[in-house]
Amino acid sequence: MEKFNTLVQDLAPRKFSKRGVIWTSFLLVLIILGIIAYIDQLIKGQEVTNMRDYALWGIYISNFVFFVATSFVGSVTVAILRLTKNNWRTPLVRIAEIISVSAIIMAGITIMIDMARPDRLLNLFIHARLQSPITWDVIIIPTYIVISLLLLYFPLLPDFAILKKHFKEKSPKLSKWYGKLSLNWTGSKAQKALQTNSIRIIALMIIPVGLLLQTIDAWLFSTTYRTGWDSTNFAPYFISGAFVAGVGALVAVIYVVRKYRKLEKYITEQHFDKLGKFLVLACLIYLYFNINEYLIPAFTAKKGEAVHLDTLFTGSYSTLFWLVTIVGLIIPTIVLLFKKGRRPLPMFYVGMIVVIGSWWKRFIIVTPTLLHPFLPIQGVPESWHHYFPSLHEWVITVATLAMALLMITLMVRYLPVIPIQRTADEKNIIDDNNKNLES
Amino acid sequence: MKNCKNKYFVLLVIFSIFSMFTGIQTLNAQTTEKNKVRIKADYVKIMDSISYLDIAATSRIEKQNTTVSNIALTIHNETEEEEIEIGSTITNSKGKSRFIIKDLNTLKPDSTFTYTINISFKGNDAFKKASRSVSFKNAGISATISEKDSTNYISASLSDLSTNSPVEGESLTVQVQRLINPLKIGEEFNSTDENGTILVPIESGIPGIGGNLNIEVVLEDHDDYGTVKKIVRAPVGVPIVEESTYDQRTMWSPRNKTPWFILIFTNLLIFSVWGIIVYLVVNLFKINKS
């Protein structure tokens, strides 16, 4: 009984420390600045951005693609590890689910930010053409949001019941909320059967839906017949890229949460080691697809594609391209191949580098292609030949990233970041109060 | 008396100054020279249809040829005895105008059966007056389509209608009307024989709407007859098969023509996934109730 209480004590949500308050306030300031910039964008129109006739997709879209990619962590870590019965996943899955939910919600919001007339959002549904990948995207994103929320919520039910009891005296108001969210969970056989069955279904379903989400995201580009996007390789290339971005984000967030919540007992170095192996596998697969994506066109490129590749390899985007490839992918792969590289702190740095690299990688995928249309750019001001985001775009984009981090922060604050009931079950720690109900 | 003399002297000075300014003003006006207008006119006759004059007005201003727009031109029919006004026209923004001769029979030829049309411009503040005469005789082209040894031929005859005599040794162009430029068929030069006739084979396989070809026989810019054109509509082409997918269900059709496989597959996916989601939400209610 004491062991169970200690477990709950360790894993139950805690109030923000001073650092937590500062961090949340900082995120709120960034979000408020972003909202102000967005209102200005709504009033003045997209002219406040640097998107013009040619670079009509800027960092909003690359940021959207980044969020979609990061949300893939839910499918990969949670579902795959669950179905393959890798028990070491337990302390990691909740954080993966939280990242997945935050990222996919922000992907939906970001795509609306890119719309010059968000008041016409409903037209996407009213006038939807099922032939268009845009329509598929409009359908798949809300679907993935709902599935991700369900994947987060179902395993939380027993934990909410535990937290209801835990906060009964400490914080009756919070206890009441946890009680409502627990849906009268008692741990009865019927409830457990329904929950287990539902989680299995979601775990099965989220893999193809996650793959579909990444594939559709890739098809948004590859069905446009543009230099750099017109590739049959694009969907697996995006899936493997999402694998890297998602696991990278997971590593970085887990490190911070582990340190902040002092969960070293539950999230051990062994977990980082396994995640490191997982990430190196993701990086190697992604590297393979990168070679396919750039090396083969380098041999076979026609004039238009050759100009595009020159810009990436030796031209105006070469610094960013090689930084993203070498620092964001090759070096992390090498570091992770060594056991020392898979320890928590190096893994955190690797995770951060991989996430930042993944963000800029999306920028590299989106922008240079738009600046290399088949017909030459003519009759437009010189500034339209190039693209670099405006201050509005930066402020709004940073705000969306801050929103995602705020969502993660708030969920870490109010949800048990490690499944309490499941950990207790795995460690054979019995809650005597619920013993009768569970049996 | 002396005062009176002074007064006259002052008046004389003022008058001289005024005269001097008047002189300068005149001088200035003389320096702004009017530009010359060049008028070009071509006579075109389309058999069984209209005859017209294609007029173009240009001017050389500051060493550059410039079109002269919006100037009024008067058209006269000239004979040895008289000059009859037959109409007027105004050049468009490109300096061009087409004057349609409603009925050639209303015009009077001279003793050599030559019609002379004079196009004149009265001049204005910017341009000097100008005129141009065009002379032509009335010619006609008749054409028929025939088939011999599975080959289609067009036979055309050029004749001088004022004397009703065939015109020998003139080159006629045979061409098929196309969207941008006509497609020439036959030899480069098809000279008329002593009967004023040419015979040109029509290549097989030329596409036309409904298999119809509009074949033109043209006497181009002749010194005596101007341009004379005969258009024959002949069903000797290959019918154009319209390859439009407008009514088909394609990937690029509007939403009401979505391909069936997309409709079925996408809806199957949507309803399957959302069906499962509904089932899961129902499970949440069941958990709540149990």
Residue tagged 């003399």 (tokens):
B5
Distance CA A383, CA A121 (A): 30
> Which of B267, B273, B274, B278 has the most A C-beta neighbours within 10 Å, making it the best mutation to test the interface with A?
B273
Residues of chain A that touch chain B, judged by Cβ-Cβ distance less than 8 Å: 127-131, 136, 139, 143, 146-147, 150, 153-154, 157, 183-185, 188, 190-191, 194-195, 197-198, 201-202, 205, 209, 212
> Which of A125, A127, A130, A182 has the most B C-beta neighbours within 10 Å, making it the best mutation to test the interface with B?
A130
Q: What is the dihedral of CA A408, A410, A411, A415, to 10 degrees?
A: 150
Q: Is the pLDDT of residue B7 over 70?
A: no
What mean pLDDT value characterizes chain B? 89
A192: CB partners within 8 A, 6+ apart:
A438
pLDDT of the residue at A391: 96
pLDDT tens track for A417-438: 999 999 998 888 766 555 534 4
Q: Which residues of A touch B289 (CB under 8 A)?
A: 184
Q: What is the DSSP letter of B180?
A: S
- Diameter of chain B by CA atoms? 137
pLDDT of the residue at A433: 56
A266: CB partners within 8 A, 6+ apart:
A10, A11, A91, A418, A423
Strand partners, B217: B174, B230
Distance CA A249, CA B161 (A): 92
What mean pLDDT value characterizes chain A? 92
Per-position DSSP letters for B150-165, written without gaps between them: TEEEEEEEEEETTTTE
Distance CA A273, CA A276 (A): 5
CB contact under 8 A, A129 and B254: yes
Distance CA B69, CA A19 (A): 79
> Which stretch of DSSP H or E encloses residue A332?
helix A331-337
> Which stretch of DSSP H or E encloses residue B121?
strand B114-121
| Cβ(B77)–Cβ(B84) below 8 Å | yes
The domain in which residue A260 lies consists of 2-434
pLDDT tens track for A312-366: 999 999 999 999 999 999 999 999 999 999 999 999 999 999 999 999 999 999 9
Q: Which CATH number fits domain B38-137: 3.20.20.70, 3.40.50.2300, 3.30.429.10, 2.60.40.10?
A: 2.60.40.10
- Diameter of chain A by CA atoms? 79
Distance CA A209, CA A215 (A): 10
User: Please, what is the angle between helix A391-414 and helix A59-70, to 10°?
Assistant: 20
- Closest chain A C-alpha to B139 CA, distance in angstroms: 50
Residue tagged 């390899």 (tokens):
A313
Per-position DSSP letters for A235-301, written without gaps between them: HHHHHHHHHHHHHHHHHHHHHHHHHHTT-TTTS-HHHHHHHHHHHHHHHHHHHHHHHHHHHHHHHH-
| Cβ(A368)–Cβ(A304) below 8 Å | no
Q: Please give the share of chain A, as a percent, with pLDDT higher than 90.
A: 78
In angstroms, the first-to-last Cα distance of chain A is: 16
Distance CA B121, CA B100 (A): 18
Q: Is residue A126 part of a domain?
A: yes
Average pLDDT score over residue span A68-83 = 84
Q: Do domains B38-137 and B139-239 have the same CATH topology?
A: yes
Structure tokens at A330: 């090759």
Q: Which amino acid is at A346?
A: P
> Which stretch of DSSP H or E encloses residue B174?
strand B171-176
Average pLDDT score over residue span A292-311 = 89
pLDDT tens track for B50-104: 999 999 999 998 888 999 999 999 999 998 788 899 999 999 999 999 999 988 8
Q: How confident is the model at residue B14 (pLDDT cuts 50, 70, 90)?
A: low
CB contact under 8 A, A195 and B270: no
pTM recorded for the entire structure: 0.74
Tell me: domain B139-239, CATH 3.40.50.2000, correct?
no
pLDDT of the residue at B26: 46
Radius of gyration of chain A (CA): 23
Q: Where are the domains of chain B?
A: 38-137, 139-239
> Which of B284, B287, B289 has the most A C-beta neighbours within 10 Å, making it the best mutation to test the interface with A?
B287
Average pLDDT score over residue span A80-89 = 83
Distance CA A393, CA A387 (A): 12
Q: Do the interacting molecules here have an ipTM over 0.85?
A: yes
For chain A, the 3-state helix, strand and coil shares in percent, each to the nearest 5, are: 75, 0, 25
Average pLDDT score over residue span B174-189 = 92
Q: What is the DSSP letter of A54?
A: S
Number of A to B CB contacts under 8 A, please give it: 64
CB contact under 8 A, A191 and B253: no
Residue tagged 């930084």 (tokens):
A323
Q: How confident is the model at residue A439 (pLDDT cuts 50, 70, 90)?
A: very low
Q: Is the pLDDT of residue B209 over 80?
A: yes
Nearest to B258 among A129, A157, A198 (CB): A129
Q: Is the pLDDT of residue A58 over 80?
A: yes
> Which stretch of DSSP H or E encloses residue B176?
strand B171-176
Q: Is residue A439 part of a domain?
A: no
pLDDT of the residue at B21: 52
pLDDT of the residue at B17: 62
Mapping DSSP to helix (H, G, I), strand (E, B) and coil, where does residue A337 land? helix
pLDDT tens track for B245-289: 889 999 999 999 999 999 999 999 999 999 999 999 999 999 999
A341: CB partners within 8 A, 6+ apart:
A276, A334, A335, A347, A350
Q: Which residues of A touch B263 (CB under 8 A)?
A: 130
pLDDT tens track for A213-237: 999 999 999 998 888 998 889 999 9
Q: Please give the share of chain B, as a percent, with pLDDT higher than 90.
A: 71
Q: How confident is the model at residue B27 (pLDDT cuts 50, 70, 90)?
A: very low
Q: Is the pLDDT of residue B18 over 80?
A: no
Q: Is residue A73 part of a domain?
A: yes
B231: CB partners within 8 A, 6+ apart:
B46, B47, B49, B177, B214, B215, B216
pLDDT of the residue at B105: 85
Nearest to B280 among A129, A136, A202 (CB): A202
Average pLDDT score over residue span A366-390 = 89
Q: What is the tally of structural domains in chain A?
A: 1
Q: Is the pLDDT of residue A270 over 90?
A: yes
For residue B242, which phi and psi values (nearest 5 degrees)?
-70, 120
Average pLDDT score over residue span B25-38 = 66
Q: Which residues of A touch B245 (CB under 8 A)?
A: none
**Domain harbouring A353, CATH code:** 1.20.1630.10
